[in-house]
Structure 1
Amino acid sequence: MMKMSIGQTIEIIYLDKAGKITQRKIEVNGIRDGRIRATCLTTGAPRVFLAASVLSWQPAQERRHA
């Protein structure tokens, strides 16, 4: 099982409180009490995600410039 860490950029599939499933790329700022504090890299906004609502995650793929 992978372990996310502070400062890591990850991609998540998340079930929000309205029941909508979204995919986001985030930078993890902190993990505590079942909550993940992060910066959403799409909007640049700080967000808090419930760890129990993260359906899947993986380290973000870096974009390669040609």
Structure 2
Amino acid sequence: MKVTINGAPHDLPPGATVAQAVQKLTPAVAGVAVALNDEVVRRGAWQSTALGENDRVEVLTAVQGG
């Protein structure tokens, strides 16, 4: 199944979840926020939120420094 993660196309297996999409980009879970089709997904729902064909996922990570 094709999804867009942070603007780039990715192939994920059918039934893939938001958690699997996040793992494509970063091993981190702390300081990470996710939006699915412009709606924020709570961290507690990542494992149970299934992705569909052509979904758009945005994964944002907190950055420290100055």
TM-score (norm. length: structure 1): 0.32
The answer to which structure has the higher helix fraction is 2
Higher relative contact order, chain-length normalized (CA < 8 Å, sep 6+): 2
TM-score (norm. length: structure 2): 0.32
The answer to which structure has the higher strand fraction is 1
